[in-house]
């Protein structure tokens, strides 16, 4: 093969070749015309099946070794999710050059087949084919995604020998590679050596730190970027959300707004995710109105789904339903979010109607869909329908039940008091139960007063091995509820021995676009005096209304008056009191709690809602509770 001229194909500078014509009957001019025809046909393909007849014609006319056509064929096959077909084509190439290797390596990387891409690159090196900057950037991406430090360092060494390591695109890929592999010193050295440390390079370093949970280091780099673009802001906000720094993410978004930087749809989804986690409904509503005013952000599956999730998780399920109805196009993910949201809020019948509507439209449910619909059946106590849905998974849709689906059935049977049936269901399962499922049955035994079966489940749990702090607390709660203080003390001692600490309860409320958090007996709030005065006032009113504290919820063998005091300062009560003194009469109070609402707080909030005439919405670890007129949407089972 003799290289005589350079031609541009796609994004690559491709060497044209003068080769002997494989078919003597075809003139060179005719062959060039055919090449253009085939490349044009391939570029117009929209589906992998359209490639096959064109490829057949390419073979029949003797153009199956033409590098220009092969390049387009490999690139297109990879793009249209037919990387295996592209690999088969490549194996039949007599003398593949660096550009054909690049096309297939790129295809492997795009398809997530990183190991295949790395192997192909080193095959190319072993055949003494000199790599260029395009193939090096492609294989570095594969090395970073697979965390293959040794191979990536070899590529870095090769790039240096070829004088390519100073190339900007390669330098940035090297930074990304070292960052993903946790080699921050190497990534930082490359960054510091760059003559042009602009926002793009800085964003790569920021992402590397955030991917490894190094928030402070990411902020340090971020603060030094003089001119930040939307991508840089979004990377920072997204990383904070991924690292659980929701308040910081929202503060960062406010700073972005002050700088008159317009968010894109990715930014919007990240902010909505933070709002969802914190229960920041007012800020979420502002983001929704922002979308309405700026038409360049569409209410597509991506944004619409995030809005549905935010409204559902922040307690406004009615608004979530309105957004769902407004969406012109919905996919299975959108339906899953809507069904899940309705289930969390106890709207079981509506969730089932949405599910049936999805099936009528011909959308196939997924494993996630069935978790959502089984949760809806559980929260509604719909035993027969829940069991039918469970069996239809494998029978009608070929979806094998997983631990989450089995757990929903156990929760459903426990909710309606079919405890023995739930126990037998666990015993006959094809997979081993986890501590979440056993904990659900144990909780049902406590609620229904079946302490004999509860102790059996407790023994299984203790021998299970993997038990979290919440399960230990539940075990102690069951023993304490039946007056077995010695056993409850043993559970607490076991927690202490194992270094397992009870997760502290934390309740938050959004007032005037600001999140206020309250722990047990919290004294940090600037309005603590007013809050505790309101709490004292409420306690007196509740006492007069006949409220008797559920002291069995306190897991210590102490006097009842001490238990009453412990219950009275729970975080959700403080949050509700702050809501009552900080919002106008008639305003719905929305509280987010990281743990399950205790029995006494649940009965107390029902009374507060009735006495104050307020609607109070509380989101705990598992579901929503809508308190109104002395009732709760959960039907006193949660």
What pLDDT, on a 0 to 100 scale, did the predictor assign at position 583? 95
Q: Using alpha carbons, select from 170, 163, 224 the residue that is nearest to residue 197.
A: 224
* Average pLDDT of the segment spanning 195-202: 87
* Higher-pLDDT residue of 598, 348: 348
pLDDT tens per residue, range 210-268: 999 999 999 999 999 999 999 999 999 999 999 999 999 999 999 999 988 999 999 99
Task: Copy the structure tokens of residue 275.
Answer: 């709002």
Residues 583 and 517 in one domain: yes
Same domain, yes or no, for 544 and 619?
yes
Q: Under 8 Å CB-to-CB from 447, ≥6 apart: which residues?
A: 414, 637
pLDDT at position 295 is: 60
Give the mean pLDDT of 124-133.
95
Q: Show the domain range for 469.
A: 401-503
Rounded distance between C-alpha atoms, residue 173 and residue 367, angstroms:
36
| Residue 301, H or E segment | helix 301-313
Pairing of strands 616-619, 589-593: parallel
Q: Are residues 576 and 516 in the same domain?
A: yes
Q: What CATH number corresponds to the domain at position 477? A: 1.25.40.10
Alpha-carbon distance of 490 to 496, in angstroms, equals: 10
Q: What are phi and psi of 577, to 5 degrees?
A: -60, -40
> What pLDDT score was predicted for residue 195?
78
pLDDT digits (tens, 9 = 90+) for 514-546: 899 999 888 999 999 999 999 999 989 988 888
Tens of pLDDT, residues 62-113: 888 999 999 999 998 888 878 999 999 999 999 999 999 999 999 999 999 9
DSSP H or E run through 6: strand 2-9
Hunting for tokens 């090449």 — which residue is that?
35
Greater confidence (474 vs 142) lies with 142
Q: Which residues contact 513 (CB under 8 A, 6 or more apart)?
A: 280, 282, 283, 286
pLDDT at 567: 56
The number of folded domains in the chain is 2
Whether 607 is covered by a domain: the verdict is: yes
Residue 21 lies in a domain: no
429-438, 554-563, 573-582, 622-631: lowest mean pLDDT where?
Answer: 554-563
- Per-residue pLDDT, 196: 76
Cα–Cα dist 244/53, whole Å: 51
Domain end call among 503, 530, 554: 503
Q: Is residue 145 part of a domain?
A: no
Whether the per-residue pLDDT at 9 is higher than 50: the answer is no
In a domain, 103, yes or no: no
**pLDDT for residue 481:** 73
Q: What integer pLDDT is reported at residue 550 of this predicted model?
A: 60
Strand 616-619 and strand 631-632: pairing?
unpaired
Look at residue 570 and tell me whether its pLDDT is greater than 90: no
Contact 571, 597 (CB under 8 A): no
**In the predicted model, what is the mean pLDDT of residues 175-194?**
93
Indicate if 523 and 607 belong to the same structural domain: yes
Q: Which of 469, 503, 537 is the last residue of a domain?
A: 503
573 and 628 housed in the same domain: yes
The percent of residues above 90 in pLDDT, for the chain, comes to 63
* Exposure class string for 203-217: b at 16+ Cβ within 10 A, else e: bbbbbbbbbbebbeb
> Cβ distance 148 to 118 under 8 Å?
yes
Asked whether residue 554 carries a pLDDT value surpassing 70, the answer given is no
Indicate the pLDDT class of residue 362, thresholds 50, 70 and 90.
very high
The closest of 226, 207, 312, 212 to 266, measured between CA atoms, is 207
pTM over 0.85: no
Q: Are residues 491 and 561 in the same domain?
A: no
**Residues 537 and 558 both lie in one domain:** yes
In 3D space, the residue among 208, 259, 262 whose CA is nearest the CA of residue 236 turns out to be: 208
**What residues have CB less than 8 Å from 232, skipping those under 6 apart?**
199, 202, 203, 206, 222, 225
Residue with tokens 């990281």: 594
**pLDDT given at position 468:** 72
| The pLDDT value given to residue 552 | 54
Structural domain includes residue 417: yes
Using pLDDT thresholds of 50, 70 and 90, give the confidence band for residue 194: confident
């Amino acid at each position: 093969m003799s290289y005589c001229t350079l031609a541009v194909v796609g994004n690559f500078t491709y060497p044209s070749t003068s080769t002997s014509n494989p078919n003597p009957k075809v003139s060179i001019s005719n062959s060039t015309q055919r090449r253009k025809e085939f490349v044009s046909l391939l570029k117009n393909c929209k589906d992998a099946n359209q490639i096959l007849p064109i490829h057949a014609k390419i073979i029949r006319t003797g153009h199956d070794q033409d590098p220009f056509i092969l390049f387009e064929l490999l690139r297109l096959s990879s793009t249209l999710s037919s990387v295996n077909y592209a690999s088969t084509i490549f194996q039949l190439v007599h003398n593949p050059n660096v550009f054909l290797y690049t096309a297939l390596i790129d295809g492997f990387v795009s398809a997530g087949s990183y190991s295949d891409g790395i192997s192909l690159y080193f095959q190319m090196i072993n055949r003494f084919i000199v790599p260029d900057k395009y193939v090096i950037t492609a294989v570095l991406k594969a090395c970073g995604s697979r965390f293959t430090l040794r191979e990536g360092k070899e590529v870095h060494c090769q790039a240096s020998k070829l004088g390519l390591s100073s190339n900007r695109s390669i330098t940035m890929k090297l930074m990304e590679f070292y960052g993903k592999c946790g080699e921050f010193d190497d990534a930082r050295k490359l960054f510091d050596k760059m003559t042009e440390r602009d926002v793009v390079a800085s964003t790569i370093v920021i992402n590397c730190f955030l991917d490894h949970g190094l928030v402070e280091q990411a902020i340090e780099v971020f603060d030094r970027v003089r001119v930040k673009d939307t991508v840089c802001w979004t990377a920072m906000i997204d990383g904070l959300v991924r690292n659980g720094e929701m308040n910081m993410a929202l503060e960062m978004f406010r700073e972005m707004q002050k700088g008159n930087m317009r968010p894109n749809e990715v930014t919007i989804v990240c902010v909505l995710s933070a709002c969802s986690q914190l229960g920041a409904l007012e800020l979420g509503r502002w983001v929704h109105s922002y979308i309405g005013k700026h038409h360049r952000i569409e209410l597509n599956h991506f944004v619409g789904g995030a809005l549905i999730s935010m409204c559902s998780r922040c307690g406004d399920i009615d608004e979530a339903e309105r957004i769902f109805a407004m969406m012109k196009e919905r996919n299975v993910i959108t339906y899953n979010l809507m069904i899940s949201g309705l289930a969390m809020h106890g709207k079981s019948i509506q969730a089932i109607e949405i599910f049936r509507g999805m099936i009528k439209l011909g959308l196939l449910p997924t494993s996630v869909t069935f978790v959502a619909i089984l949760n809806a059946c559980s929260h509604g106590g719909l035993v027969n329908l829940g069991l039918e849905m469970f069996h239809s998974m494998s029978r009608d849709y070929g979806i094998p039940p997983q631990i989450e689906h089995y757990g929903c059935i156990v929760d459903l049977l426990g909710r309606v008091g079919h405890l023995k049936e739930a126990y037998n269901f666990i015993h006959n399962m094809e997979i081993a139960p986890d501590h979440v499922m056993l904990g659900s049955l144990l909780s049902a035994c406590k609620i229904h007063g079946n302490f004999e079966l509860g102790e059996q489940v407790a023994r299984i749990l203790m021998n299970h091995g993997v038990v979290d702090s919440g399960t230990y607390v539940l075990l102690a709660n069951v023993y304490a509820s039946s007056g077995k203080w010695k056993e409850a003390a043993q559970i607490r001692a076991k927690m202490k021995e194992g270094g397992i600490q009870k997760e502290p309860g934390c309740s938050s409320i959004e007032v005037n676009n600001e999140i206020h958090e309250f722990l047990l007996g919290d004294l940090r709030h600037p309005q603590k005096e007013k809050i505790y005065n309101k709490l004292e006032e409420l306690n007196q009113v509740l006492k007069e209304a006949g409220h008797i504290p559920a002291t069995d919820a306190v897991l210590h063998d102490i006097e009842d008056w001490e238990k009453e005091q412990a219950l009275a300062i729970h975080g959700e009560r403080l949050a509700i009191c702050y809501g009552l003194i900080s919002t106008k009469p008639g305003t719905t109070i929305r509280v987010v709690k990281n743990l399950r609402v205790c029995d006494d707080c649940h009965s107390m909030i029902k009374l507060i809602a009735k006495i104050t005439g307020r609607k109070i919405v509380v989101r705990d670890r598992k579901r929503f509770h809508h308190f109104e007129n002395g009732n709760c949407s959960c039907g006193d089972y949660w």
